[in-house]
Structure 1
Amino acid sequence: MALSFYDSYEAEVVSSGLEISVSGEGVGDILLDESNLIYKSLALVFNKLGKKVPGLKIRCDNNIPHGRGMGSSGAAVAGGIMLAAGLLQDEIEISEQQLLGFATELEGHPDNVAPALFGGLTIAWVEEDGVPRHKKLTVHRGVSPLVLVPPHQMSTKLARSLQPESVPHTDAVFNVSRSALLVAALTQSPELMLAATEDRLHQSYRSSAMPETSALIKKLRAHGHPAVVSGAGPSVLVLEDDPAKRMEAIALVESSFPDWRVLALAVDVKGASLLVQSGSGT
């Protein structure tokens, strides 16, 4: 699901070379050469379409925290692909399906890149022939997301390594039913969100690596707030449907976890946007 919190990227064609600058999140940590994820994404599109990558000046203004389970890598991949689409728009029209295919090849799965590209609530899957697909749904207007961001990071690779190779059949059945219920809660009946966000497949296995996250989720859910791990963590996503409950959740976080950042967001229904300026800037 896409939320109203954004990174922005610019690309300018220059005579030769590659220059990348970064402001905001990731300054000092993000690679500034051809291994940069924005550049890799852009270059993949050019190469797949048989076009030579020009000299570029790329500027990144990052707001999405890194290593927090908020989809920063998916946003970067989507951003790089959209930059390529903008630079090539006078030569080639790139379809939505191509955009998703390029992004999935880089990210490894379509789960994060589909909402980043297309907005809203997306159900994404990969066909048996390896082709990624997505279906965009409309989120109920009563859904009001909160993202609670801790001051510390967590490796997605570490979070995934904590998952067992197999789970009890009863737990798998439990989560299948909750997944179906979650779609209904997000699109039609947000009052079902607390039950729809119950989980037996991943959060408990990762709790030892993010004790504050687990404690915060437990406390919020005990007060009736539908809180879950955001992505691989350690951020927390709360899907409220009542303004008063939303304020109650914010107050609880600010009093119990004062060093956590509270983001009161909306669902973004448009996805990545592209502005092409004259003079080879995108």
Structure 2
Amino acid sequence: MRIVKDAARVKVPASSGNLGPGFDSMGMAHDVWDEVSATLTTGASRVVILGEGNQTLPKDESHLIVKTMHETLERLGAPTPGVDLVCRNNIPHGKGMGSSAAALTAGVMLVRELLGAPEAFTKEEVLNIVAGYEGHPDNAAPAIYGGATVSWREGEGYKTAQLPVLKSVKTTLLVPDEVLLTTTARGVLPEKVPLVDAAFNASRSALMVYALTQDPELLFAATEDRLHQQYRAESMAHTAAVLAALREAGWPAIVSGAGPSILVFAEIDPAMANILAQQGFRTVDSQQVQGAHAIEV
């Protein structure tokens, strides 16, 4: 394949992985977006970051989006020129909102646009590249396809299905000041779990699909989990305490991805938002959104 454009621009949404019981398989996109512009250059790559990560992310060839673009171009047998990148980041980093999946998706989608053949470079191929880089598809799928998704491994690749979520299903993100690296959150998970817990999560994952698409009244039961949240609680004690309090009060709440943000399947009124703010959580309204897409340059 060869590059036919010298510039491209894409938008990618935030996402919550797992959705409680759907560990590494279910996810949902949110109305929080990163927008990335790329212009090819003959010199070394340069990165301008506006918003999240401005003080912490690299601004050269080692930036994740630049690395992803170069690796994807090499993979497709295309040249790897330098890139001038402008990132307008709104997705918080280290909060369990899919910032790394968004960056990987942005890199692959930019390559897709620069090659000028989106019809030949399908979303399923984008998913397989991004999930291959990340090691699991639960954030990649909603970032690419939008809405809520359930994904699975088939052969050497991944597939996904979009869920027709009812419009009556509302979501709110609760974002704390704390940061938790995904590597830390995954590092506390056990290699084996009791059979009774695996069976519990299998039933709750199936119920989650039904609740989102048929009966939201079942979301409280559907969001119960025994595979990952309990093991991660010690690494995000404040989140675990607030999550427990919400669920004791009857809110269908889960850890967003690896945490420490919380996803609530309900609208939060101003009085409740004020109480949560006093606990260190800012409220971010969410809604069902489309997945990553190109913008005309």
Common fold by TM > 0.5: yes
Task: Report whether the alignment pairs 1:162 with 2:171.
Answer: no
- Give the conservation status (yes or no) of the 8 Å contact 2:112–2:118: no
The equivalent of 1:280 in structure 2 is none
Change (3 A) 1:46 1:256: closer
The one of 133, 137, 144 aligned to 1:117: 144
Question: Are the counterparts in 1 of residues 44 and 61 from structure 2 also a CA contact under 8 Å?
Answer: no
Cα distance, 1:273 vs. partner?
A: 1.2
TM-score, normalised via structure 2 length: 0.86
Q: 1:19 maps to which residue? A: 46
Q: Alpha-carbon deviations, 1:238-280, whole Å to 9, x = none?
A: 012xx5xx32xx5335225423110011011x20110132xxx
The match for 1:85 is 112
Sequence identity (%):
42
Q: Name the counterpart of 1:136.
A: 162
Supply the AA of the counterpart residue of 1:187: T
Equivalent pairs, count: 269
Q: Does 1:172 align with 2:193?
A: no
Q: Secondary structure at the match of 1:183?
A: helix
Equivalent residue for 1:45, pick from 72, 87, 112 = 72
**Matched position secondary structure for 1:57:** strand
Q: Tell me by how many angstroms 1:90 deviates.
A: 5.7
Q: Secondary structure at the match of 1:262?
A: strand
TM-score, normalised relative to structure 1: 0.91
Q: 1:199-278 maps to which residues of 2 (within 5 A)?
A: 199-240=225-266, 246-247=268-269, 251-258=271-278, 259-268=280-289, 270-277=290-297
More strand by share: 2
Report the alpha carbon displacement of residue 116 of structure 1 after superposing the two structures with TM: 0.4
**Partners in 2 of 1:22 and 1:232 — Cα distance?**
24
**Amino acid in structure 2 at the alignment position of 1:43:** H
- Structure 2: gaps (5+ residues): 1-27
Decide which of 177, 182, 187 is 2:208's aligned counterpart: 182
CA RMSD of aligned residues (A): 1.6
- What is aligned with 1:9? 36
CA drift of 1:54 comes to 2.2
Q: State the alpha-carbon separation in 1 of the partners of residues 147 and 286 from structure 2.
A: 13
Instruction: Answer yes or no: is the 8 Å Cα contact 1:20–1:32 preserved in 2.
Output: yes
Unmatched 5+ stretches in structure 1: 278-282
